[in-house]
């Protein structure tokens, strides 16, 4: 690599990493507890457990489940009902004051007895909801999501440029060498470089899926205005009729339309995942991958008739794949453990990168001159001695 190219890649890596480092550090720190959100929920007592019954019972009528939740808050409207694949004994009913209200009231209802179990803390309580909000949008909604998406893009740039710079850095050293006998600053530089190259693929995957996840709201809106609008052309200009159809029967209609699939959640008419005329019943499979891939079934909320069961477009499928992959939700406890270890390694990379920048001293002032003569050095290339993360 020529000295000019080396300087150019060094500049790209320096500024892309410096701009995004603080925010990436925040995302790593908040993402770590989110990897174990179920386990933390059990520890904090915010996870709802199904009551133990004296004898097995089949699941009850879903309309009775919704009615039990509404008895607690008669003026609120049902927004969603959902079931976790591993806890089919519980229906999670979400209520709100109106269809565009995001101040949700969750109610856990026994799917067998149709009786209310408890009112769980939304998003797992104050701690977990704070971690989630910071990780997703910095409490800023869509602007915060898009900002974090841009930071994730800068992270990808930093990863690529760091990988390019690593090759000349290692040409006189064994892979993963940490020169402990040299200065403290050089030791931290070697540690930074070694962890960066070892976690490169994981960082790229998590950064890329994180960036895709920040586009979720825009993707859903695009889907509603295009594919969904085309499917619902027959309802265009029509005033929504009363929602008199049974939710229980609508679910049975969806199960008949897609046999072998289970109900993940139901979106009520007027919410973001349905139309003003339909129950949006989202089905998924029972395998590790298919359980993350939803298939919507639209059932007329007045007549109870099936309207359509369309395949999701490719960009929503990509989103659905990226969401669990981002948090390591595919492979059980071992994958979660791997994700946690790599998350901690990334925190070390970010902290050492900041340390090297703050301690750059005279080397930072002379980095350009040294980079010009990098091809003449034997063990330590110019960008490394300048203290810029690589």
Q: What is the pLDDT of residues 47-93, one digit of tens each?
A: 888 999 988 899 999 999 999 999 999 999 999 999 988 899 999 99
Output the pLDDT for position 172: 67
Phi, psi of 48 (to 5 degrees): -90, 130
Identify the residue whose tokens are 């980079």. 371
Q: Report residue 108: phi and psi, to 5°.
A: -95, 125
What's the rounded Cα separation, in Å, for the pair 22 and 43? 29
Between 29 and 49, residue with greater pLDDT = 29
Q: According to the model, what pLDDT value does residue 267 have?
A: 96
Q: Output b/e per residue, 96-128; b: 16+ Cβ within 10 A.
A: beeeeeeeebbbbbbbbbbebbeebbebbbeeb
Residue 23 backbone class (left: φ over 0; alpha: ψ -120 to 50; beta: rest)? alpha
Query: Structure pTM?
Result: 0.82
Residue of 27, 61, 89, 16 lying closest to 390 (CA atoms): 16
Residues 52 and 199 in one domain: no
* Residue 10, domain member (yes or no): yes
Give the position of tokens 């693929």. Answer: 201
Do 88 and 53 belong together in one domain?
A: yes
Average pLDDT over residues 322-349: 87
| Rounded-to-integer distance, Cα 338 and Cα 177, Å | 23
What percent of the chain is modeled with pLDDT above 70? 87
Q: Which residue has the higher pLDDT, 334 or 79?
A: 79
Residue 387 — very low, low, confident or very high, per pLDDT cuts 50/70/90?
A: very low
Classify residue 68 as exposed, middle or buried by CB count within 10 Å of its CB (0-12, 13-18, 19+).
buried
Residue 102 maps to which CATH number?
A: 3.10.450
Residue 105 lies in a domain: yes
- Among 71, 89, 119, the domain boundary falls at 119
Residue 390 has pLDDT above 60, yes or no: no
Domain assignment present for 168: yes
Q: In the prediction, which pLDDT does 174 show? A: 64
Among 57, 87, 119, the domain-final residue is 119
Q: Are residues 169 and 200 in the same domain?
A: yes
Domain holding 54, by residue range, is: 48-119
Residue 224 lies in a domain: no
Residues 56 and 11 placed together within one structural domain of the fold: no
Q: What is the pLDDT of residues 172-205, one digit of tens each?
A: 666 656 666 667 777 777 777 778 888 888 999 9
Do 158 and 110 belong together in one domain? Answer: no
Using the structure block, give the residue that is written with the tokens 């009520």. 268
The predicted model gives 302-317 an average pLDDT of: 94
User: What's the pLDDT score for residue 144?
Assistant: 96
What is residue 180's predicted lDDT score, i.e. its pLDDT?
Answer: 64
Is a pLDDT exceeding 50 seen at residue 116?
yes
**Cα separation of 272 and 65, whole Å?**
22
Last residue of a domain, one of 68, 85, 119: 119
Mean pLDDT of 149-164: 93
Which residues, in sequence order, are bridge partners of residue 308? 298
Report the domain count for the chain.
Answer: 2
- State the pLDDT confidence band at 316, using cuts at 50, 70 and 90: very high
pLDDT of 377 over the 70 cut: no
């Amino acid at each position: 690599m020529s000295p000019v190219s080396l300087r150019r890649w060094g500049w790209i890596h320096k500024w892309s990493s410096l701009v995004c480092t603080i925010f990436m550090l925040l995302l790593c720190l908040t993402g770590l507890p989110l990897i174990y959100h179920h386990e933390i929920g059990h520890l904090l007592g915010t996870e709802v457990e199904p009551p133990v019954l004296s004898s097995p019972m089949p699941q009850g009528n879903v309309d009775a489940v919704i009615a039990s939740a509404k008895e607690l808050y008669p003026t609120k409207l049902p927004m969603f009902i959902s079931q976790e694949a591993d806890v089919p004994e519980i229906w999670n009913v979400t209520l709100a004051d109106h269809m565009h209200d995001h101040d949700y009231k969750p109610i856990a209802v026994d799917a067998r007895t149709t009786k209310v179990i408890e009112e769980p803390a939304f998003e797992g309580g104050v701690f977990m909801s704070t971690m989630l909000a910071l990780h997703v949008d910095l409490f800023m909604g869509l602007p915060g999501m898009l900002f974090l998406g841009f930071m994730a893009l800068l992270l990808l740039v930093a990863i690529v440029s760091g990988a390019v710079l690593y090759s000349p850095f290692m040409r006189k050293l064994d892979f993963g060498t940490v020169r402990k006998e040299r200065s403290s600053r050089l030791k931290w530089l070697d540690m930074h470089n070694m962890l960066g190259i070892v976690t490169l693929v994981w960082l790229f995957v998590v950064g890329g899926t994180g960036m895709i996840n920040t586009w979720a709201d825009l993707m859903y809106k695009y889907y509603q205005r295009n594919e969904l609008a085309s499917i619902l052309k027959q309802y265009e200009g029509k005033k929504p009729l009363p929602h008199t159809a049974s939710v229980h029967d609508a679910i049975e209609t969806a199960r008949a339309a897609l046999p072998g699939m289970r109900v993940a959640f139901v979106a009520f008419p007027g919410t973001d995942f349905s139309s003003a005329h339909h129950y949006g019943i989202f089905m998924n499979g029972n395998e590790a991958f298919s359980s993350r891939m939803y298939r919507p079934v639209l059932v007329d909320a007045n007549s109870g008739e099936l309207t359509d069961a369309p395949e999701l477009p490719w960009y929503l499928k990509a989103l659905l794949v990226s969401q669990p992959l981002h948090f390591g939700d595919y492979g059980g406890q071992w994958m979660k453990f791997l994700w946690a270890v790599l998350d901690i390694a990334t925190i070390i990379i970010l902290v050492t990168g900041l340390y090297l920048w703050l301690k750059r001293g005279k080397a930072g002032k002379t980095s350009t001159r040294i980079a010009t003569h990098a091809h003449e050095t034997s063990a330590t290339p110019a960008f490394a001695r300048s203290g810029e993360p690589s």
